Amino acid sequence: MAFNTPVFVVFFVVVLMLYALMPKRYKWIWLLAASWFFYLYASAKFFIFVLLSGASAWAGTLYIQRLHDRARQLRACDRSGEELKHMRERLKRRQKRMLISVLVLNFGILAVLKYFGFFCENLNQLLESFSLEARIPGFHLILPLGISFYTFQTMSYVIDVYWKKTKAERNPFKVSLFVSFFPQIIEGPIGRWNDLSAQLTAGRACSALDVRRGLQLMLWGYFKKMVIADRAAIAVDFVFSHYLDLSGFGIIVGVFLYAMQDYADFSGCIDIARGCAKTMGIDMAENFRRPYFSRTIPEFWRRWHMSLGAWMKDYVFYPFSLAKGVRRIGKAARRRFGRHLGSTLPIALGNLLVFFLVGLWHGASWNYIVWGLFYGILIAMSALLKPSFDKLRDLLHIPAHSRVFMLFQIFRTFILTCAGCVIFRAATLSDAAGIFSGMFSGSFLSDAWKSELLSFGLDKWNWGVLLVSLLILLIVDLMQEKGSVREWLDRRSAPLRWSVCAAGCLMLILFAVYGPGTNPVQFVYMQY
């Protein structure tokens, strides 16, 4: 039940209407029933994995919480210091064993289902290179819907209970609702228990303001997905499949369009998800903040897929970079190479690990791993070389906050992200290398405007619609950089608000890539 299908629209309307009519104490139960139905409709045979993830988190956190409570009670016990220390250490070991058990179970399921085929394929290639006849029978398993997203979300709850950042929930069905809440289970955002759980179970009444803002956000998401992303996808698919036959200019256009498609598709899905939740008074985490306005690669990743970045920062980067072994490496580097390298090396190593995992999280492919390491190396090098860059800028007398320099930084960062897009989107690493090479070979511009662009699957009319839509996207993003567009609309008169919404609906009806002879294009991140 993808968001861009009539079935989902009908489902959402029914869920919202009954949620509004439902008594407060039963609203969360209705959300759970709707979420289970949503998942069963999409992939009934994998529903067991969602239940297992929620059940393991519920049981594991209850056990950990019980040990937390027991440790707290020990403080009031009349026992010797050594005896208390021994008992506390024993409780900590039991907590750690339970934490590891739950993490291994859930991440193990994710690893087997997502990476087993990839592992077998590469191991067999390695054996073949040594002329060994042994083979491991490999097979590719179908992934449960949203497994990467709900696994990370569920494990954040378990870790937070272990770290005493939150208390364990005793009701297993409330935990299951947190895991399977239908707007977020496809592509996120990856929520946190402390931010989301209370909202899901509060049973807030549907206010007119929440419904209006939620529907506006959904409309904007549908516009980005069905008018921009799905139209750009037609040209992108052609370019990445026929890059050997295209000019450098044509390839560059295709890469640019993929950057736009990826942003419009993913952020559009998030807008629809957040809009769905907003109509019911539930505020989900922001996941995008105009990433293509970023001045540096680190800033780009603070604006792109923000919930994944925050998850990696809290549960991978900080634990790794603050580990004793990594700190010793930093101290050794400081003594040998100076303060700057000593302080930045642990950060650089942490970023390399994070982006290796980010790449691996996206899928079982060397493209994704190289793509993640590409960003990890860029971020690590930017931190290590920052003093040199600052000295060069001062030497050239370039004001750090000048508008021209800011625009240069934005353009530079966008070019680097487009390079990442090539690695991410290409079928293989060799195809990625061929695309990079093709950008600077052959006729660059001579024949492009005459016929090449019209061979991408879009006629002049659709090219015009795409360009106008991208211009609208740019204008709205510029407005959002200065303030909330929805709040701006709220301050306008009712006729103007309705006119804007009507114009958006009309554009969807007239220009959405959907109708006779076409099929709704799957959201890009549904495969992750």
From 425, 445, 478, give the residue that closes a domain. Answer: 425
- Tell me if 175 is assigned to some domain: yes
pLDDT of residue 45: 82
User: What single string gives the DSSP state of each residue in 20-69?
Assistant: HHS-GGGHHHHHHHHHHHHHHHHHGGGHHHHHHHHHHHHHHHHHHHHHHH
Residues 271, 315, single domain; the answer is no
Are 211 and 192 within one domain? no
Q: Please indicate, yes or no, whether residues 164 and 22 belong to a single structural domain of this protein.
A: yes
Looking at the structure, do residues 303 and 345 belong to the same domain, yes or no? yes
Predicted TM-score of the model (pTM): 0.89
Q: Are residues 200 and 89 in the same domain?
A: yes
Residue 421 lies in a domain: yes
Structural contact between residues 454 and 466, judged by C-beta atoms closer than 8 angstroms: no
Give me the pLDDT at residue 456, please. Answer: 86
Does one domain contain both 446 and 300?
no
Q: Would residue 351 count as lying in a domain?
A: yes
**How many angstroms from the chain centroid is the CA of residue 447?**
38
The SS3 assignment for 243 reads helix
Establish if 413 belongs to a structural domain. yes
Domain boundary among 396, 425, 454: 425
- Examine the domain organization and report whether 12 and 147 are in the same domain: yes
Domains: count for the chain: 3
Residue 1 maps to a domain: no
What per-residue confidence (pLDDT) applies to 518?
52
Cα–Cα distance measured from residue 21 to residue 491, given in angstroms and rounded to the nearest whole number: 29
At which of 369, 404, 425 does a domain end? 425
What one-character-per-residue DSSP string does 381-399 give? Answer: HHHHTHHHHHHHHHHTT--
User: In this structure, are 459 and 384 located in the same domain?
Assistant: no
Domain membership of residue 22 as a residue range:
6-205
Q: State the pLDDT at residue 17.
A: 94
Work out the number of other CB atoms within 10 angstroms of the CB of residue 47: 17
Asked whether residue 193 falls in the same domain as residue 230, the answer is: no
Spatial contact of 194 and 164, defined as CB atoms under 8 Å apart: no
If asked whether residues 393 and 482 sit together in one domain, one would say no
* Per-residue model confidence (pLDDT) at position 326: 84
Rounded Cα–Cα distance for residues 132 and 115 (Å): 23
Residue 277: inside a domain: yes
> DSSP for 255-310?
HHHHHHHHHHHHHHHHHHHHHHHHHTT--PPP--S-GGG-SSHHHHHHHSSHHHHH
Average pLDDT, 10 consecutive residues per value, the chain (528 residues): 85 94 93 94 86 94 91 70 78 91 93 82 73 66 83 95 93 95 89 92 87 91 92 92 87 94 94 94 92 93 93 93 86 81 84 92 89 93 82 80 88 94 93 90 56 82 92 91 77 78 80 60 61
Contact (CB, 8 A) for 124 and 138: yes
Residue 329 and residue 408 share a domain: yes
Indicate if 30 and 177 belong to the same structural domain: yes
pLDDT reported for residue 517: 44
